[in-house]
Amino acid sequence: MKNATGKLEEIFLDGSARITCPPEMIPAPGQYLLAHAHGSDSPVPVPLFSSVVHPQNGFRSAPEIQSLWKPGDTLHLRGPIGRGFSIPASARKITLIAFDTLPFRLLGLIGHALKQFAEVTLVCDERMENLPEVVEIQPLKGFTDAYQWSDYTAIDINRENIFQLKEKLEGMEQVRSQREAQVLLRAPMPCGGIAECGTCALSLKNEWKQICKDGPVFHLKELM
Ligand code: FES
């Protein structure tokens, strides 16, 4: 994990931002940076996930940047932090599911999937611009079909909704037999593990985990 300085170059209408930073600071899909704007009154840094990567000089963040930030702000960055997604090299049918949000945190996986000649289905209820034509879009109500079709699934979900996910998948044979499914859990992560604040705590099979550093990406089997 490193510290570096970045710059907020542009804020888009959807609330995402283009951020320039050294290439080694760009978070891989599922990982994040903690960012603090220079001169900001807020003592709490903001987790930044990437959606689109510009390999030479930065990335476009998923929305959720601080509303007080503005283009030109200098950002103090720490990271990349946490366990990100990892697509098995053998995966050829990949489903990305934005369970209760927009799919920005999953978009970075599309390029990786296409590089290994996988078919990609994106499950979400929002219309997304600028996706490669080969990506099939399915509404959330088709979520279980898309899940069963895939040999790798990545899911983005709020920590509070895990039980809903479990309910929908309960009894599906694929949960046990599928080669790989990973889940990005969203939760407030103010300290990134440094202060052991406990805000991101998760109880897993009678054991406490910290989403900020044990995740934020977990294997689905760990959650079931
Ligand atoms: S954010 Fe503080 S322990 Fe995870």
Could you tell me which of 121, 129, 125, 119 has the C-alpha nearest to residue 52?
129
Residue 91 near ligand 1, beta carbon < 6 Å: no
Peptide bond preceding 216 in cis form (omega within 30 of 0) = yes
pLDDT at 192 over 80: yes
Identify the three-state secondary structure at position 166. helix
Residue 174 confidence (pLDDT): 60
Distance of CA 132 to the CA centre of its chain: 19
Pair 144, 199 in one domain: yes
The one-letter amino acid at 168: K
Mean per-residue pLDDT for 136-161? 92
Residue 34 near ligand 1, beta carbon < 6 Å: no
Lookup: tokens for 139: 């509404």
Domain boundary among 51, 81, 111: 81
pLDDT digits (tens, 9 = 90+) for 26-78: 999 999 999 998 987 777 889 999 998 987 899 999 987 777 889 999 999 99
Pair 125, 101 in one domain: yes
Residue 159 lies in a domain: yes
Residue 86 lies in a domain: no
Q: From residue 200, give the alpha-carbon distance in Å to each of 17, 91, 101, 103, 189.
A: 24, 31, 19, 21, 6
Top mutation candidate among 1, 44, 78, 200 for ligand 1, by most atoms within 8 Å of CB: 200
Residue 173 confidence (pLDDT): 62
Domain boundary among 46, 81, 116: 81
Top mutation candidate among 199, 203, 209 for ligand 1, by most atoms within 8 Å of CB: 199
Pair 54, 12 in one domain: yes
What is the H or E stretch that residue 20 is in?
strand 17-20
Atom of ligand 1 nearest to the CA of 189: 1
Check residues 27 and 169 and name the one with the higher pLDDT: 27
pLDDT confidence tier of residue 140, bands split at 50, 70 and 90? very high
Residue 183 lies in a domain: yes
pLDDT at 22 over 90: yes
Check residues 190 and 129 and name the one with the higher pLDDT: 190
Most confident of 65-74, 121-130, 206-215: 206-215
Place of tokens 């900020």: 212
Residues 6+ apart with CB under 8 A from 89: 116
Residue 212 near ligand 1, beta carbon < 6 Å: yes
Q: How many domains does the chain have?
A: 2
Residue 177 confidence (pLDDT): 64
Residue 218 lies in a domain: yes
Pair 185, 104 in one domain: yes
Is the distance from CB of 157 to CB of 183 less than 8 angstroms? yes
The one-letter amino acid at 122: L
**CATH assignment of the domain containing 48:** 2.40.30.10
Residue 15 near ligand 1, beta carbon < 6 Å: no
Mean per-residue pLDDT for 170-192? 81
Pair 152, 103 in one domain: yes
Atom of ligand 1 nearest to the CA of 211: 4
Residue 182 near ligand 1, beta carbon < 6 Å: no
Pair 97, 155 in one domain: yes
pLDDT digits (tens, 9 = 90+) for 150-168: 999 999 999 999 999 988 8
Pair 112, 192 in one domain: yes
Residue 20 near ligand 1, beta carbon < 6 Å: no
Pair 98, 74 in one domain: no
Place of tokens 């969203």: 186
Pair 60, 112 in one domain: no
CA distance 105 to 128: 13
Q: What angle do CA 193, 196, 82 make, to 5 degrees?
A: 15
pLDDT at 105 over 90: yes
Residue 88 lies in a domain: no
Atom of ligand 1 nearest to the CA of 213: 4
Domain boundary among 81, 114, 131: 81
Backbone angles phi, psi at 140, to 5 degrees: -60, -30
CA distance 164 to 102: 17
Q: Which domain holds residue 98?
A: 93-223
Q: What angle do CA 79, 73, 30 make, to 5 degrees?
A: 30
- Measured by CA distance, the residue closest to atom 1 of ligand 1 is 189
